[in-house]
Structure 1
Amino acid sequence: MNKRVGKIAAIVTTAAMLAGMFPAAAFASNASEGVTSSMDATSSSSVKAGSSGAAEPQSSASSSNAAISKEKAEQIARKAVNIPEDYQLQSANLSTSRLMNGTRNSWGLTFNKRVNGRHMGSIYATVNAESGQLTSYSYYNPSDVKPSYPLKVEREEAQRIASNVVDELAVSYASQVKLNESFGEQLLPALTGEVRHQFKFDRYVNDLPFLENYITVVVNSEGHVVEYEFVWDDTIQFPKPDSYLSAEDAIEKLRAAGTPELKYKLLTDRQGKNTPILTYELQSYVIDASTGNKIDDTRNHYSYLGEVADKPLTTNPLGLKPVNKAINENQAIENVKSAFKLPENIELGHSSYHEYNDTDSEQARAMWDFSWTIKKDGQDAGSIWATVNAQTGAVQGFNIYYYNEEGSEKSETISVDQATSTAIEAVKKQLPWLTHELYLIKPDPKQQEIINASRTANYQIRFAHKLHNALIEYDHINVSINSRTGNITGFEANIQPFDYPAQAPKAISIETALDRWMDYYKAELTYRVSSEYTWIGEPIPIEKYNVLLASGEIDSNEDIKVKSTVNLVYRLRAKPLDQHVFLDAVTGEWRSMETGEVTTLERPEVLDIEGHWAQRQLELMVAYKALDVVDGKVRPNETIKRGELIKMLVIARNGGSNYGYAVATADSALQSSFNDVSASSEYFAYVEQALEQNLIDLGDGSFNPEGTVTREEMAELIVRALGYNSLARYDHIFADSFNDSASINNKGQAAIVVGLNIMSTTKDGKFQPAKEVRRAEAATAFFRYLQARSELQEAPLRM
């Protein structure tokens, strides 16, 4: 490295620890365990080496296959990023990753530093074993890095540093990338831990983006590069299109191709109670950039449900829902035997009964669990287990397994249609009261080809639960059918016990839902490599392919067939958000998945804090929605309300995290602890949490959320949040240096917050306990509280 980059990249955490070090790294946040980082799907083929340098090949990806040795790779990594000598090579592995046309070997190197047996830091780097290109680098330091505001290095300066890193570490590629202006911009600023600026440089070919290849750089607020990743495939051949749609035309085509789907999702509150919420969902998709035609690539999505039948199993239910009644052990066993064909020679090995309170339905539940051993010629030949609802007698789970596959001596298999018919009849028999709401997920006809080719034992037939044309995504029914005997080998009915409206809720129109989702997404023009993975004749999604590779179940060069194509597409990509949201299908509003509160996709623009002495702190509180913005104004100099202050404290105390609450309504069943903070109040969740965490007392049952707060009251809240309120009562141990001491009721609390620099006194030494707190003062105090709390956290005792 030249002096310019060396100056930029130098990292000095402590004089004794990292002088002159340049950490840049793969996007993995923690490399301390030496986990292999790959740019694509990484195979299980590897060679591991300890710090001694001894290596034992474990598979075909041996060190002899690498043009660059482990020792040379270590030299490249140490030189590229100035790894200090006291960081010893702890492990090395050689892995193979798949490219579009071929494979690539990479060295993964883990360096550790220990002082007196204590782990002081880890560095992980990967090096291309053919070219010597540094492909990733990460640094992990177990010590907590505290935020400091204003930041020493803001985003603009961090961007300059990141650009210099790309120029130095990817010399041959820097001219082929462009900065992605929107990447990393809207991420929430850190309230605790290290503040990081993230940058992404996208690859361009024929002056068109290929967003699947990129270079990422992460710079912390000290100006140190802490992560670097180089994702690239030089083997791809890119076609040059004659023409393609404009961005405006593409958006219209994308909108026309979209079909939002009604779904019930679960919203989980702070007590773990789940509530069904009707939503509209629109999964991302792509269109051909030249024709505007939608490209069907649903099979590439691991979460792809499959094609759901147009009609339910029956028009009307085949029976009544079972009523609750006590089911004894014998009755439960007979229900299993009548439901499924069981072998004659079985022995009951386990029977258990358990009760529990269902937090969702707030009802008591009871279950029977059984297991049997299958006997043949006096030997164990297999096992059976079953679960039966002890209140209704319904069999909810069943599985039978033979140690030697049943029916394996038969050469013929039943057809997928026969298996489907058997599964449908089983579902009708076991769930007769739901058949008008259950839909077959059409099985892939290729299942039969796969079973014939691989001798896989079972067909998997699945069913979806829909109500009022809305998919209940958390319910599912699976039936396994032995492909040779036609017998049911598995049955699972997971139906959550929720109450739903008898009539379909009046939802917003599909057109309105599309408008909302087009605000959520942005259209991206990019080359796209589309790969079809086939395993034993079965198409599988890339996620499953990666799992199979990682587990070692398949070998990337033998068992998997890959067909790849490159085309130019427009795709829908979610805009950067600082929260998880869902679209309420009834109101058309975006809501937070964490709290259920109405939210917006864009952070509100604040017009009245530019140049304010507390601008940074106010921006942080606005970002975390601890302060509301009305008409673009946060009103920093207005007095803060008690409800607002509690909300700010709770969010600050949780490090920015919110505990989820069900969407509250005026007639909500949620019970309020205070008579003036109803379940529908915007402060309800935060007030209840503050009470639970002993930050406030119940008192006379009134909270007064619209009232003002004095400095002395805020000091008490902060001290209680720190856990020092009991100590503060011994106010005689604190130096009394306030010039208005006589007017302070709780001198200990005032002394603590001033001593920790969370709150300050006037120039003439007055605490002003009765002065009302303004919004800017509260924002500043709670950010200083975060810094103080971090400094006060002690390391665990070591024996």
Structure 2
Amino acid sequence: MNRKKIFSLLLCSVFIFTSFSTALAVQVQPKLEKIMYKTEVNPQNQDLTYVTNVSPEIEKKVKISKQEALDIGRATFKKYFNTNIYDSKFSVRISLDNYNNGGAEDYIWNISWSKNNVLKNVNYSVSVIANTGKIKSIDNSEYNSDDNNSIPTISLKEASEVADNFVKKIDADKFSQVTRVDNDFSQYYRNGSGSYSFSYIRKVNGVEFTDNKIEVNVDGTRGNVTYYDINWDDKYTFQDIKSVISNEKAQDILKNNISMDLKYVNYYDRYDDTHKKKEIKVVYSPSFKKGNTIDASSGIFMEDNLNNSSNLILKDLNEKEKIDFYKKYSEVNVAKEPISEEKAKSTIKDIIKDLYGDGYKLDPLAYDESSNLNGENEKTWSVQFYKDENKKYEEGGSIRIDALTQGVISCSKNNKYEEEKDFKANLTWDEAYNKAINTLAKYYPSQIKNIKTQQTHFDKSNEPKENNNKERQIYFNFARTENGIAYYENNINLVVDLKTGEINTINYRWEDGLNFPSLDKKISEKDALSKFSQKYKTKLAYNLVNTSKDLKNPKLEAKLIYAIDYYKAKQVLDVDAFTGNFVSYDGEEVNENIQTFMNDIKNSKYEKELSILAYKGLLNTKDFKLNKEVTQIDLIKSLVDAKGFRPYVMVSESSKDSNVKANNSAPVEELKIKGVTKGTQDYKYLQMAVSYGIIDNEEVEFKGYTKVTREEMAKILVRFINYHKVVECGDIFKANFKDTDKLSKGYLGYAALAEGFGLVQLDNGNFNPKNISTMEELTLGIYKSLNKIRFNNYPIYR
């Protein structure tokens, strides 16, 4: 998963957390008592360990003893999984831990039994609430080395029934109070694992209370529950829903608070794992002026005690200051050859003197030529600097400069200080901003016309003194701008120390030669907002809110709020500024037809198999039609997607086979195949097909839109599961179908194996080898094939 995907998922989780968690609940962290760690040999088995992590003082306070917790844990596995646990067969670990940032009453016994060997890894664990004996969570994990199926054997629907039955059994009194959410089945992101994940969200007065929920995971191969967790508290009183404003009014309030901001976003070609080829798109991204949660009664935006919008300060240069700032622009000379070590040392000494003063010594300089984060070749000089050899790592620092421009790429001064509640600041925040602006002008004069100078700051001066640690380090992130809009992939980061008044850290990331699309013909912000609002609706929910102004004594109440519902969507999507369509973190247009696909396959005999492939992300559901006749390129793309499309750059021929077998990624090689244009999507799919051994790299004409017969489909499916070598052994096959005489020469073995393995289905005892195969038949064949081979395939992220 590349950086873009990780960032997108993290961003999504932030939105979800803001909307439906205890974002507004300020809690005081309790002072935890010292825990006693003790590891010893398991008294029942000298080859295993027995670890305890328990404070004797706390153990005396809780109602459930260690032995009682052990008994509850064993009984839990016997009751719900029919598993007998004997300590003599496991390494056992027991700890008594505080959870949920609670007080003395919020302790939990965490117990695990583990056993690992070459053939099997087992981990059974249970969490028991130490004052009630109730089960908080269960982990029922087993892994067999020979049981790594490539594809689930049960569908999402079947898995949900397993999960429902488990919840009914373990939490019978709560099942009628919850609504199930299928966590992983999203049209934007498919779960590449073989498990299914479900959330059972509590409903009160018909309204979801997402702070209380039950989580259940189901193994898609074995069909058993592997994980359970409950977060449920009946101590809250719930606001009456009669007093709330209408959903329509809430939608208008929230919509009027959203601005759709234009920005340039960097997308990598998913067919090029080197990440050298990137495409920059223009998108509209939602920004919330006052947050994305309002009080359901008053319609006023919810604000916590610390980070509400009234504390947000925007700082920018005024018009005159910008004119003066831009006057400092100058081109930077780029040398043809790297500067010498002596010149680099002189340049670095000048920079350190300017930033930190006199008296610094340098270690020997290091020259390096390597790829940076953007895949570009960088030539750099770097060195450690210090005053006192004995305090090099406490008070010294490091710097790296460009060997062609002499510009600062990174500079950091070590500052080993603990957070100070009271220190004398030599700079205000405004003065720190001015210092950062002056540093930009001095060290990056060729970039200053393309820098977003506006910065934001949360003023914490109104916090209670006992909770207010003074800000010492001020972080500034100056993003690159092109055509007046931001490109956050390129930026200059500066950290200013208010106590010393120094620039503590500099990080520079900037790329040359990028192509930024013109903003001509873009849709309006109004149209982008309309598109966003049509998709993301407002939802009424209960949310835990701290109603106390005393931060040491928070009072949490379940209040009704309206928020934009991201919970089920899983991802906050950008809107393409030209097409108006939603785009994923890969920059590809999002396929939003998953429900259409699910409806279309309801009439198929193979609904289960097709839905599993769709769930796994191994089937492109966009424009999928059951009866569509399969072309050669359809066949290639479907089989490669089923492998997960995981290219990597081939290092050497000798490593090719071992790499493919080890991690199911494939080396890319030039094609001898004719009839397809190099660099196109079709070309790259053929490369992957060759690398996976699905086809041979031979000088033959590829006719991508030629229809595929059933016998041709049978041949390539047999090759897909790596049984083609068996066919090559000779004429040893006997077919179980009537129309063997209609097979083309050399196809009997492939057809016999395909039918025997269930890859191809007979029609009234006939193979029908010359009939054109359909997408329904091909997809079933792929599903059956994946059950014959064992590897971890990954989703194609359609």
Give the TM-score taking structure 2 as reference length.
0.75
What does residue range 174-193 of structure 1 map to in structure 2 within 5 Å?
174=175, 177-180=177-180, 186=186
Structure 1 letter corresponding to 2:744: S
Q: How many residues align?
A: 706
Where 1:130 maps in the other structure, the secondary structure is coil
Unaligned runs of at least 5 residues, structure 2 = 1-26, 44-48, 650-669, 794-798
Q: 2:427 aligns with which of 393, 408, 414?
A: 414
Contact 2:54 2:95 in 1 (8 A): no
Query: Which residue of structure 1 lines up, in the alignment, with residue 280 of structure 2?
Result: 276
1:314 aligns with 2:326: no
What does residue range 354-753 of structure 1 map to in structure 2 within 5 Å?
354-356=368-370, 364-375=377-388, 382-401=395-414, 413-436=426-449, 437-446=451-460, 458-497=473-512, 499-501=514-516, 503-530=518-545, 566-574=558-566, 576-577=568-569, 582-594=574-586, 596-600=588-592, 602-605=594-597, 609-620=601-612, 624=617, 626=619, 630=623, 634-654=624-644, 677=676, 683=682, 685-697=684-696, 699-700=698-699, 702-725=701-724, 727-728=725-726, 730-732=728-730, 734-735=732-733, 737=735, 739-740=740-741, 743-745=744-746, 749-750=750-751, 752-753=753-754
Where 1:569 maps in the other structure, the secondary structure is strand
Contact 1:349 1:372 in 2 (8 A): yes
Structure 1 letter corresponding to 2:255: R
CA distance in 1, matches of 2:409, 2:265: 22
Where 1:524 maps in the other structure, the secondary structure is strand
Contact 2:99 2:107 in 1 (8 A): yes
Contact 1:609 1:636 in 2 (8 A): yes
Contact 1:73 1:132 in 2 (8 A): yes
Between stretches 510-519 and 201-210, larger displacement belongs to: 201-210
Change (3 A) 1:451 1:241: closer
Where 2:210 maps in the other structure, the secondary structure is strand
How far residue 72 of structure 1 moved from its aligned partner, in angstroms, is 1.1
CA distance in 2, matches of 1:173, 1:611: 35
1:344 aligns with 2:358: yes
Where 1:330 maps in the other structure, the secondary structure is helix
1:97 aligns with 2:99: yes
Deviations along 1:668-695, one digit per CA (max 9) or x if unpaired, are xxx9987755589764553343244443
Deviations along 1:744-764, one digit per CA (max 9) or x if unpaired, are 335655555445432356776
How far residue 95 of structure 1 moved from its aligned partner, in angstroms, is 1.4
Structure 2 letter corresponding to 1:324: V
Change (3 A) 1:453 1:249: closer
CA distance in 2, matches of 1:341, 1:706: 64
Contact 1:626 1:644 in 2 (8 A): no
Structure 1 letter corresponding to 2:508: A
CA distance in 2, matches of 1:308, 1:61: 52
CA distance in 1, matches of 2:200, 2:742: 58
Query: Which residue of structure 1 lines up, in the alignment, with residue 58 of structure 2?
Result: 62
Change (3 A) 1:57 1:581: closer
Query: Which residue of structure 2 lines up, in the alignment, with residue 130 of structure 1?
Result: 131
Change (3 A) 1:452 1:433: farther
Where 1:318 maps in the other structure, the secondary structure is coil
Where 1:473 maps in the other structure, the secondary structure is strand
Where 1:514 maps in the other structure, the secondary structure is helix
Where 2:760 maps in the other structure, the secondary structure is coil
How far residue 422 of structure 1 moved from its aligned partner, in angstroms, is 1.6
CA distance in 1, matches of 2:383, 2:412: 11
How far residue 699 of structure 1 moved from its aligned partner, in angstroms, is 4.3
Structure 2 letter corresponding to 1:514: L
CA distance in 2, matches of 1:189, 1:465: 30
Query: Which residue of structure 1 lines up, in the alignment, with residue 667 of structure 2?
Result: none
Change (3 A) 1:194 1:478: closer
What does residue range 32-47 of structure 1 map to in structure 2 within 5 Å?
none
How far residue 578 of structure 1 moved from its aligned partner, in angstroms, is 8.2
Contact 2:128 2:134 in 1 (8 A): yes
Query: Which residue of structure 2 lines up, in the alignment, with residue 20 of structure 1?
Result: none
Change (3 A) 1:309 1:721: farther
How far residue 439 of structure 1 moved from its aligned partner, in angstroms, is 1.7
Deviations along 1:76-113, one digit per CA (max 9) or x if unpaired, are 22223414124646111111124688761111111224
Deviations along 1:737-782, one digit per CA (max 9) or x if unpaired, are 5844983335655555445432356776x76655432222211111
What does residue range 261-340 of structure 1 map to in structure 2 within 5 Å?
261-269=261-269, 270-271=272-273, 272-273=275-276, 274-282=278-286, 285-296=292-303, 307=314, 309=316, 314-315=322-323, 316=326, 318-325=328-335, 326-328=337-339, 329-339=341-351, 340=354
How far residue 136 of structure 1 moved from its aligned partner, in angstroms, is 1.0
Change (3 A) 1:252 1:85: same
How far residue 607 of structure 1 moved from its aligned partner, in angstroms, is 5.9
CA distance in 2, matches of 1:148, 1:324: 54
CA distance in 1, matches of 2:373, 2:388: 40
CA distance in 2, matches of 1:599, 1:305: 37
Structure 1 letter corresponding to 2:397: I
Where 1:393 maps in the other structure, the secondary structure is coil
CA distance in 1, matches of 2:631, 2:447: 51
How far residue 395 of structure 1 moved from its aligned partner, in angstroms, is 0.5
Contact 2:152 2:195 in 1 (8 A): no
Contact 2:260 2:286 in 1 (8 A): yes
Q: 1:73 aligns with which of 69, 73, 80?
A: 69
CA distance in 1, matches of 2:694, 2:700: 15
Structure with the greater relative contact order (CA < 8 A, sep ≥ 6): 1 or 2?
2
How far residue 649 of structure 1 moved from its aligned partner, in angstroms, is 0.5
CA distance in 2, matches of 1:601, 1:148: 23
Deviations along 1:434-473, one digit per CA (max 9) or x if unpaired, are 2232324234444899999758764433333333343323
Where 1:639 maps in the other structure, the secondary structure is coil
Query: Which residue of structure 2 lines up, in the alignment, with residue 15 of structure 1?
Result: none
Unaligned runs of at least 5 residues, structure 1 = 1-39, 540-559, 662-670, 794-799
Where 2:252 maps in the other structure, the secondary structure is helix
CA distance in 2, matches of 1:530, 1:379: 47
State, as a whole percentage, how many aligned pairs show the same letter. Answer: 20
Between stretches 560-569 and 125-134, larger displacement belongs to: 560-569
Structure 1 letter corresponding to 2:329: G
Change (3 A) 1:593 1:92: same
Change (3 A) 1:101 1:47: closer
How far residue 390 of structure 1 moved from its aligned partner, in angstroms, is 1.6
Contact 2:368 2:381 in 1 (8 A): yes
Contact 1:187 1:576 in 2 (8 A): no
Contact 1:202 1:209 in 2 (8 A): yes
